[in-house]
Chains A and B, each alone.
Chain A
Amino acid sequence: MSEKIGVYVCHCGGNISDTVNVDDVAKYAENQEDVVVVRSISHMCSEEGQKAIIDDINEEGLDKIIVAACSPQFHGPTFRKVVEKAGLNPAMVEMANIREQSAWPHYNDKKAATEKAKLLTKAAIDDIRDMEPVVPEKMKIGKNVLVVGAGIAGIQASLDLADSGFNVYLVEKKPMIGGHMAQLSRTFPTNDCASCILSPKMADAAEHPNINLYTYSEIESIEGTIGNFRVKIKQKPRYVDPSRCTACNSCTEVCPTLVPDENNEGLALRKAIYLPSHVAIPHSYVLDEDACLGLQPITCGKCVEACEANAIDYEQKPKHIMIKADTIIVATGYDIFDAKRKPQYGYGRYENVINALEMERMIVEAAEGTPLRPFGKKFAFIQCVGSRDITVGNPYCSRICCMYATKLSMLIKGMIPDADITVFYTDLRSFGKGYEEYYKRAQEMGIRFIRGRPGELSENPENKKIRMRVEDTLTREILDDEYDLVVLSVGLEPSKGTKEIAQMLKIPQSSDRFLQEAHPKFKPVDTAIDGVFIAGTAQGPKDIPDTVAQAGAAAARAIRLMNKGEFEMDPVKAFVHEELCTGCGDCVDACPVNAISMAGSVATINPPVCKGCGSCISSCPTEAIDLRLFSNKGVRDKITGILEGKEPGENRVIVFADDMCTYRLADGVGTAKMEYTPDAYIVRVPSSSRVTPRIMLEAFEKGADAIFLGECEKAVSPYPDTHGPIERNIATARKVLEKAGIEPDRIVFSPFVTVMFKGFTAKVNRLAEVAREHGNIPEEKRKGLLKLLKEVKE
């Protein structure tokens, strides 16, 4: 099919035309195959430029447009709208980035800049010639949300969703909702009672007509994708019917078994049939089947006899519930650091060393008139236990411990006015609104803050007091003293449930093991999995205000997807040429997000799961897998375009730049007018993992002198793991080069973030220098590369 291509060269009011000879570029474009219209216009983005394109499409019947101007990051959306207005598919326009990639970085070398602009335009023309229209797939989406975890994050997200008219399934592992917040005494920096402000929210969540609450329930499995998550929930038997239970306590009174009470962190005992907390919602007793003597009247059965409401039923069985959800919010929270992992502090061995959550419970219960244990008079808090400590694998700051230790100190001081309290800290972090003032208030109350961490604690065997030596790192004095009670300010770790759900949903975890957000700045509650959002401490340690804000954000992000009833997928997706697929299944394992499965003898790709990185392509022996908008042919055409008319002695380096980081970085370098070698030609790809060894070797065959692969650093990458595939691809290509007697250091890989300007120019310049030193690859060496690739693969 013959195409009618229009090429528009922009002057950018001198930004381009002062360096690049735009008339030369226009003349060069005129001579290209299928090009029927070429115009050189002062500002393509102006109304004049836009109108020229629309008029030419209507009058000359153009079907493809090249705009040689600025970066597509900049005006790509503008020109896609322009061609759409004229009735073309938005994929029918491509920009040759001759400003950021030529006029600006090579402003000192007009000739080179012009030559490079020509080739960039040529590459764009060659790429678009066979471009097929892309219609983004639309999917229907309903209004059902699964919220995993009913702590304050899950409750808040559920309420926001339910109030907006969405149907919520709120699943909680424990027999009551409220999470850790329901255990707390008071909250900083206002010192208002935690359960007093939480209880109304818990009641709202339980009674909301749009919230289906499943307590004492766990997620067994989740299958499917956005718009169609199929969730299996297992609800454990409570053996008590909440609708009949009057919470009269008769059953608990007669129950003969005692076990540690989780709600009081084991500082008290509870019966096997019990009310989880005074503030429990659902406000119903529950029978702990592991602690019960036996679920039959023959073994014990005292509670059944005592229950006048007939609420106890030993015959209850676990319930398996299947639900369908369109989006998921993961709010699975944290576990506190187990201080036994720092044996030098003696937690679990010394009775007067406790953790901060135990202190919370002591204060709550003391206020209720049922003290859990004696307090004493002389207290020490040790900060950063299990945080900022690589010896236990937690290098991060847990963010809340400084403030909760300050709070607990103030509460103790309020209860015991002559208490002597010292907080031993390393750095005191009172970062939040009103927190620094709160810290100052504690100092005014006479709470001592000393900068230093103790090495170890020991117990005085006679009076069980805790002896502790600490260096005051400000005065350099070693303080040696005994304390009635030492409180370890333990840090936060991702909960067991958080780790389980991460595996189930394949949500990437950051190096601290918390769930990783899709982008640390701009997508803080999204995950790499479409339709799955995170809120609260499952994402990282945070306080209650931040958790509530994040829960609201997660709800809003989920609503944004579901509200329209359908959503448009990113058009960049992998797809299978079925006629080429041999059914080997190698791609199934290569996909980092498990988007590929075998349907009989051909591979199929599930578009909503596919992230469009293209890692799968190099696993396919027959190139049956391809990528929309960045097709195998398109990438090859670009390479051919760049290598057009290359003379012996000329040096051309192909820089594959991932869209998210390296491409934007190169734009930034251009904008800053930082010079780098005009030998480097940038080819935009979604991820450099899409550049197969075959494509690299073909580029060498066609005359490329070196290849540079840029990719996002792992922490900011929009894809799960692309570095592994890239390194494997490079290893294969280098092996082939070595076999052919070609220097393997002609291929370089580097991870970037978008601000590494100097790193980019230095690395690209270095590679170009290396290639120049090596000289062009002799034709006899490069012609047999593909044959060698076959040998190497076998």
Chain B
Amino acid sequence: MTTIVRVKKKNREFLLKTEEMSGEYITVCEQCGICTTSCPMVDDMDISPANIIRLVQIGDESVLESTAIWLCASCYTCTVRCPRGIDLSAITEALRQQTLRKSIDYIDISSLDRKELEELPAIALVSALRKYTS
């Protein structure tokens, strides 16, 4: 679970962009950690919800590579319990969007063979196409 936090100087834009996209004041998070142990998915996440917010606060874009932002189920438990009233679900969505909007194909569906197509869950295929719809 240990994460090395890299403090970068130039990454204020990443914070501002995430704040704008989510409509949340991310800087007001006081890092109490209530969100972390309210989260039903935290045991499968590589970094904790509180840590996601911390990384955004310091403008560390490596947060976009975490699995945690994709595991967020938007159940809103953290949002309901946050003592500073931050909507974490909106923030994780803003982070996902930043990756999605790069419109990178991680899977070339046309190159999948019949066997692979049969084995892959339909939802995985739908998710792979989601970048065009969001």
Contacts of B51 in A (CB 8 A): 476
Given contact pairs A388-B83, A391-B85, A478-B48, A473 touches B32 in the complex (Cβ within 8 A): yes
In the complex, A469→B37 CA distance in Å? 6
Is B16 located at the chain interface by the 8 A CB criterion? no
Is B130 located at the chain interface by the 8 A CB criterion? no
B33 touches A470 (CB 8 A): yes
Contact among B30, B31, B37, B84 with A455 in the assembled complex (CB-CB below 8 Å): B37
Closest-CB distance, A337 to chain B (whole angstroms)? 13
1/0 per position for A456-490, CB-CB distance to B under 8 A?
10000000000001111101111000000000000
B85 touches A471 (CB 8 A): no
Closest-CB distance, A490 to chain B (whole angstroms)? 14
Contact among B2, B33, B39, B84 with A452 in the assembled complex (CB-CB below 8 Å): B33
Closest-CB distance, B45 to chain A (whole angstroms)? 10
How many interface residues does chain B have, given as a range? 20 to 34
A456 touches B50 (CB 8 A): no
CB-based nearest B residue for A479: B37
B37 touches A470 (CB 8 A): yes
Is B34 located at the chain interface by the 8 A CB criterion? yes
Is B72 located at the chain interface by the 8 A CB criterion? no
Closest-CB distance, B62 to chain A (whole angstroms)? 14
A476 touches B37 (CB 8 A): no
A455 touches B39 (CB 8 A): yes
Contacts of A473 in B (CB 8 A): 31-33, 36, 50
Contacts of B32 in A (CB 8 A): 384, 426, 452-453, 473
Contacts of B31 in A (CB 8 A): 426, 451, 473
A476 touches B38 (CB 8 A): no
A390 touches B85 (CB 8 A): yes
Is B3 located at the chain interface by the 8 A CB criterion? yes
B81 touches A476 (CB 8 A): no
Given contact pairs A454-B34, A455-B34, A471 touches B81 in the complex (Cβ within 8 A): no
Is B104 located at the chain interface by the 8 A CB criterion? no
Is B128 located at the chain interface by the 8 A CB criterion? no
Given contact pairs A473-B31, A476-B1, A478-B42, A455 touches B36 in the complex (Cβ within 8 A): yes
Contact among B1, B2, B38, B83 with A390 in the assembled complex (CB-CB below 8 Å): B83
Contact among B30, B36, B38 with A426 in the assembled complex (CB-CB below 8 Å): B30
In the complex, A470→B42 CA distance in Å? 12
Closest-CB distance, B84 to chain A (whole angstroms)? 7
Is A344 located at the chain interface by the 8 A CB criterion? yes
Given contact pairs A471-B48, A477-B1, A455 touches B83 in the complex (Cβ within 8 A): no
Is A220 located at the chain interface by the 8 A CB criterion? no
Closest-CB distance, A81 to chain B (whole angstroms)? 51
A390 touches B34 (CB 8 A): no
Is B35 located at the chain interface by the 8 A CB criterion? yes
Contacts of B33 in A (CB 8 A): 451-454, 470-473
In the complex, A471→B36 CA distance in Å? 6
Is B82 located at the chain interface by the 8 A CB criterion? yes
Is A779 located at the chain interface by the 8 A CB criterion? no
In the complex, A389→B85 CA distance in Å? 8
Closest-CB distance, A329 to chain B (whole angstroms)? 34
Is B26 located at the chain interface by the 8 A CB criterion? no
In the complex, A470→B37 CA distance in Å? 6
- Chain B CB within 10 Å — which of A426, A455, A470, A473 has the most? A455
Interface residues of B in 15-45 (CB under 8 A from A): 30-39, 42
B37 touches A478 (CB 8 A): yes
Contacts of A389 in B (CB 8 A): 83
Closest-CB distance, B66 to chain A (whole angstroms)? 12
Contacts of B36 in A (CB 8 A): 452, 455, 471, 473, 478
Contacts of A476 in B (CB 8 A): 1-3, 47-48, 51
Is A427 located at the chain interface by the 8 A CB criterion? yes
Is B80 located at the chain interface by the 8 A CB criterion? yes
In the complex, A452→B81 CA distance in Å? 14
CB-based nearest B residue for A474: B31
1/0 per position for B71-105, CB-CB distance to A under 8 A?
00000011011111100000000000000000000
CB-based nearest B residue for A383: B32
Contact among A384, A451, A452, A455 with B38 in the assembled complex (CB-CB below 8 Å): A455
In the complex, A693→B38 CA distance in Å? 54
Contacts of A471 in B (CB 8 A): 33, 36-37, 48, 50
Contacts of A454 in B (CB 8 A): 33-34, 37
Closest-CB distance, A380 to chain B (whole angstroms)? 13
Closest-CB distance, B93 to chain A (whole angstroms)? 20
In the complex, A454→B47 CA distance in Å? 17
B1 touches A478 (CB 8 A): yes
Closest-CB distance, A479 to chain B (whole angstroms)? 9
Closest-CB distance, A473 to chain B (whole angstroms)? 5
In the complex, A384→B32 CA distance in Å? 10
Contacts of B47 in A (CB 8 A): 476
CB-based nearest B residue for A425: B32
CB-based nearest B residue for A452: B33
Contacts of B80 in A (CB 8 A): 391
Closest-CB distance, A3 to chain B (whole angstroms)? 59
1/0 per position for A605-630, CB-CB distance to B under 8 A?
00000000000000000000000000
Closest-CB distance, A172 to chain B (whole angstroms)? 35
In the complex, A344→B34 CA distance in Å? 11
Closest-CB distance, A578 to chain B (whole angstroms)? 53
Contact among A427, A453, A478 with B34 in the assembled complex (CB-CB below 8 Å): A453
Contacts of B83 in A (CB 8 A): 384, 388-391, 453
- Chain A CB within 10 Å — which of B1, B39, B51 has the most? B1
In the complex, A619→B106 CA distance in Å? 69
Closest-CB distance, A457 to chain B (whole angstroms)? 10
Contacts of A470 in B (CB 8 A): 33, 37
Given contact pairs A455-B81, A471-B48, A427 touches B35 in the complex (Cβ within 8 A): no
CB-based nearest B residue for A453: B32
Closest-CB distance, A203 to chain B (whole angstroms)? 43
In the complex, A561→B1 CA distance in Å? 64
- Chain B CB within 10 Å — which of A426, A451, A477 has the most? A426
Contacts of A344 in B (CB 8 A): 38, 81
Contacts of B1 in A (CB 8 A): 476-478
Closest-CB distance, B115 to chain A (whole angstroms)? 40
Closest-CB distance, B52 to chain A (whole angstroms)? 11
In the complex, A454→B32 CA distance in Å? 8
Interface residues of A in 434-456 (CB under 8 A from B): 451-456
Contacts of A426 in B (CB 8 A): 30-32
In the complex, A451→B50 CA distance in Å? 12
Contacts of A455 in B (CB 8 A): 34-39, 77-78, 81
In the complex, A469→B82 CA distance in Å? 16
Closest-CB distance, B31 to chain A (whole angstroms)? 5
Contacts of A384 in B (CB 8 A): 32, 83
In the complex, A595→B31 CA distance in Å? 48
A456 touches B30 (CB 8 A): no
In the complex, A471→B42 CA distance in Å? 10
Contacts of B82 in A (CB 8 A): 391
- Chain B CB within 10 Å — which of A456, A469, A471 has the most? A471
CB-based nearest B residue for A454: B37
Q: Which 6 A-B pairs have the closest CB atoms?
A: A455-B38, A455-B37, A471-B36, A471-B33, A389-B83, A452-B33
Can you name 7 A-B pairs with beta carbons within 8 Å?
A: A384-B32, A453-B34, A453-B83, A454-B33, A471-B48, A471-B50, A478-B42
Contacts beyond the supplied A470-B33, A471-B48: 16 A-B pairs with Cβ under 8 Å: A344-B81, A384-B83, A391-B81, A391-B83, A391-B85, A453-B34, A454-B34, A455-B38, A455-B81, A456-B37, A471-B36, A476-B1, A476-B47, A476-B48, A478-B1, A478-B36
